[in-house]
Structure 1
Amino acid sequence: MSSAAPLDVDLALVGGGGAASLLLAALDRHGVRDLRIAVVDPVHRRGQDRTWAFWGPPGGDLEPMLSARWDRVEVIGRSGPRVLELAPLRYAMLRSGPVYERAAEAERRLGVTRIVSPVGALDDDGHRVLVRGADNTPLVRASWALDSRPRRPDRPGRTNWLQHFRGWWVAADAPMFDPDRAVLMDFRTPQPARGLSFGYVLPVDSRYALIEYTEFSARPLADGEYDAALGAYRDLLGLDPAGFTVREVENGVIPMTDGPFRRRPSPRVVRLGTAGGATRPSTGFTFAAMHRQADQVARSLAAGGPPVPAPAYPRRHLWMDAVALRALDRGLVDGPGFFERLFDRNPAERVLRFLDGATTPAEDLAVMSSTRLVPMATAAAGDTLGRLRATRTVPPPGAGDRPPG
């Protein structure tokens, strides 16, 4: 083990993926110039390794980097397609390459030190955090450590699903797609015995699009099963495989669970991204909350405050997510029907704001009343019983959940 002294910094970003990249760009955007910053990650990410889709109002710092944006989307169910007008919001697609490029520019302007190394322990004494390598070597000593590495919940949830998917980036020989309309959810795909599946289509132009197959279920598929499902969805869309080329393949697995992700595991360690609660349990959507976290941290640091973002979603929404997951997992509601009813009985803009945690309590009641009340009440009762049982077996959270005094 090396005896070299660790690098002293004000802020250590542990993990260098999407959450850290958005934070670096936000720090640069908000004019944070007087902090010593280090990024510690075994991989220096570049290029197009993932695609994010999200909704929000037009404009903002992400607008120049978007690959595509849509004012209307389709949800296709058993009764056919529904065209949803999203104004004043819009659905947008952002590829990782421009995000990583902007983060690299921010690194240069901020004078960031990058340490290409896996991370082991984070030793927090309440005043400083010692970031150790996988071999226990001291790498960085920081006033704050922002940890965005993927992790499981602190304890298993009562319901534990995954959003898992595979997508093909296809380039067609002739126009095949409507670039003015994305397919948000297409429930004509065969449904698993436990869970739900859907396809979606995000067209960049008439000849280039991302076609994806997604499942919400307890475990991922085997490799060949994803290609078979995508091939079947391609045929369902009526696309001739001889007329296009698959340029890239994307895969992903995202947790959907009511298990807790502790945002403050110790006084000066703050988690971001999925590890910090940015993933919406009922849908797996993460990007918008991850972007909000980055902006909140940067604003606080620019004002001389601590780098601690607000909770990603209101507690009442996390409770509703736990109930919805339970209802879906126990077969109390039909998965495609559940989402179809949400969009049938509410303005699309309200549903999207609800999924982002931005609705009022009155709007929440309107969304809840659009679901099937008896099975949801059964799920809520079961969730309450599960919580009561958990309080008898799980110790209360420690001081790590509270800010330092």
Structure 2
Amino acid sequence: MVERSRIISPGPRWQACPVIDVDLALVGGGGAASLVLAALAPSGVRVAVVDPVHKRGQDRTWAFWGTPGTFLDPLLSAAWDAVDVITAEGRRTLPLHPLRYAMLRSAPLYDLAASAAQRLGAVRITAAAGTLDDDGTRVVVAGPDGEPLVRAAWVLDSRPRKPDRPGRTAWLQHFRGWWLESERPVFEAGRAVLMDFRTPQPSRGVSFGYVLPVSDRFALVEYTEFSPAVLTGDAYDTALRGYARLLGLDLATLRVREVEDGVIPMTDGVFDPRPSPRVVRLGTAGGATRPSTGFTFTAMVRQADRIAREVAAGRPPLPGPPYPPRHRWMDAVQLRALDRGLVDGVAFFDRLFDRNPPERVLRFLDGTTTLAEDLTLMSTSPLLPMMRAATGDALARAAGRVSRARWR
């Protein structure tokens, strides 16, 4: 018999109850936890989800590349076999085979996670988590007031947090997207725009537009910046109105059905993926966000898949590193080059796609290229500026190590 997931709220009745024991507690119930729940559905492990909000509906959109034929296929809103990169000089269409670019809205994933929770008989605790007390054998998840909520053999914590050690470069990917609906066809349904650099460029950073059409009458149109700080006031709406005009869209004839905002860290700061023996961090908190682009979703999928395989084999639910160490270094060098103005951001990305097969670039950004492919990619970047950035990064790392040693 499948037990329905239980909803437990904090309060006097809860405080009188004994602490629930489970195999695995998911602290945070967003995308990372939802993917883990879906992957664990066949396992039969005892699971608890601790989050003050039961995630439902459309609250975000993930766009990512990967190969067709996964469990996500039925959940997708759209997918494209080619994408466009546009600069002032023209439009470049990038064939992605054997990959594809895909869009997943949150509601289907949350629904899948709810079904998995029901199948597992999961306990859902609608409360904010506070401390995680790890004694090396079990972890007690407490509420903000210190009252125990659940005891688990392992805790997977996906709550957003700042890096445990600040980076040498700290940028943000920040954006606003409008879901635009028209009564007549105005979008090219089979044509997605990955990066449109015709937007006005900030004095320090890179901006671009982004178009993901679900149909010829409904699309996500977004303005994104890679830069050190978020915009203020109505600057995102102003930028979006300007980009819509650039696309030839008449906003007077369109309806903004939904608005999406986001801020994602782009930093070489250190996120500790395992702060104690039985606590493991997932998602951005566990280093799954790619510093050079802000992309996170495919790394979260890999983490969830690895956790499920480890659990099935009777091993600890450890997701492994989201990216090879050399990719973290390459990202740090790229961020430094952009931050110090050693390279022009638009020219850098345009050159990367111009001198490499698109599939190789996308696999690099996904963290799945080989060392030989990475060396080829490095050889196509502007060598002198990147060498200066690499030298500066090495000196900064050495200075940081000396500084930390002095304070020990």
Please, which of 19, 22, 29 is the counterpart of residue 6 of structure 1?
A: 19
Structure 1 counterpart of 2:313, which letter?
A
Instruction: Show CA shifts across 1:114-156 (max 9, x none).
Output: 0000011011111111101011111111100000000110021
Q: What does residue 90 of structure 2 align with?
A: 80
Give the Å deviation of 1:4: 4.3
Q: What does residue 232 of structure 1 align with?
A: 242
Q: Distance in 1 between matches of 2:188 and 2:276?
A: 49
Please, which of 32, 40, 44 is the counterpart of residue 43 of structure 2?
A: 32
Give the Å deviation of 1:61: 0.4
Residues 2-401 of structure 1 mapped to structure 2, 5 A cutoff: 2=15, 4-28=17-41, 31-33=42-44, 35-394=45-404
Q: Distance in 2 between matches of 1:3 and 1:111?
A: 22
Give the Å deviation of 1:173: 1.8
Give the Å deviation of 1:78: 2.4
Question: Identity, % of aligned pairs?
Answer: 67
- Runs of 4+ deviating beyond 6 Å: none
Q: Distance in 1 between matches of 2:27 and 2:166?
A: 24
Q: Distance in 2 between matches of 1:355 and 1:248?
A: 28
Q: Distance in 1 between matches of 2:234 and 2:252?
A: 20
In 2, are the aligned partners of 1:174 and 1:243 still within 8 Å (CA)? Answer: no
Q: Distance in 1 between matches of 2:232 and 2:204?
A: 16
TM-score by length of structure 1 reads 0.96
Instruction: Show CA shifts across 1:249-305 (max 9, x none).
Output: 000000000000111100000000001111000000000001110111011101111
- Which runs of 5 or more residues in structure 1 are unaligned? 399-405
Secondary structure in structure 1 of the residue aligned to 2:234: helix
Give the Å deviation of 1:223: 3.7
Secondary structure in structure 2 of the residue aligned to 1:281: coil
In 2, are the aligned partners of 1:213 and 1:233 still within 8 Å (CA)? Answer: yes
**Alignment size in residue pairs:** 394
Q: Distance in 1 between matches of 2:33 and 2:67?
A: 23
Q: What does residue 5 of structure 2 align with?
A: none
TM-score by length of structure 2 reads 0.95
Instruction: Show CA shifts across 1:186-245 (max 9, x none).
Output: 000011111110000000011100000000111111140010010010011110112210
In 2, are the aligned partners of 1:71 and 1:87 still within 8 Å (CA)? Answer: yes
Secondary structure in structure 1 of the residue aligned to 2:356: coil
Structure 2 counterpart of 1:394, which letter?
R
Instruction: Show CA shifts across 1:302-355 (max 9, x none).
Output: 111110011000000000000000000000000011100000000000000010
Secondary structure in structure 2 of the residue aligned to 1:171: strand
- Which runs of 5 or more residues in structure 2 are unaligned? 1-11
Secondary structure in structure 1 of the residue aligned to 2:209: strand
Q: What does residue 3 of structure 2 align with?
A: none
